[in-house]
Amino acid sequence: MAAADRLFEERGYLETSVEDISEAADVAVRTIYTHFPSKAAILLNYFDGWLDALVDGILERPVDEPIAEAVAASLRAMTEAGWADRSYGNVAESPPSSLGLIAGPPEVAGHMMHAWMRAQDRIAADAALRGGFPSDSLEPQARATAVFAACIGPILAADLSRRGEPLPADATANSLIVEFATRLTGGNL
């Protein structure tokens, strides 16, 4: 994973082959395929773990806590547990998988969108179960959608930054996600 991440950051996803990863990791190509079914799976392994950790952290929070605060607390706990809070002030340092959603091949973007749909389902189901909302309430889904939008917002902003609209130099994934969550919900959801 470390060799793949380094190559994806240095060369880009499309320019990195499984053979390049094999050579950099000093393992056989066959060994890589025993752990990952595709190059996309290598790239997305970190994203999948990150998303699961984010959602797990949100589900540990009180259901009546504003979602922006739950997201911020989950991200803080993730950072304390060793998850990297990558720079978005320098887009070249942002996670390769994040820009893969915009500029990557369809299998990367498709996987990420499906993962987000499952994550939203988990958040909404938890809010519905623990929140005591009426069955016709949209609040559980609104909370889940706010998390998705707050996490997609920085990726879209990073794409703008690649085209010349720079983000603040101190912008990180976590700081942007929390800012988007707060602005989207006004702290009221």
- Per residue in 109-142, pLDDT tens? 899 999 999 999 999 999 999 999 999 999 999 9
Q: What does pLDDT average to over the chain? A: 90
Element (H, E) at 23: helix 18-25
If you average pLDDT over residues 44-71, what whole number do you get? 96
Q: What are the residues facing 87 on neighbouring strands?
A: 172
Q: CA separation (Å) from 135 to 59, 119, 128, 131?
A: 20, 20, 8, 11
pLDDT at 93 over 90: no
pLDDT at 12 over 90: no
**What span, in angstroms and rounded, lies between the C-alpha atoms of 168 and 166?**
7
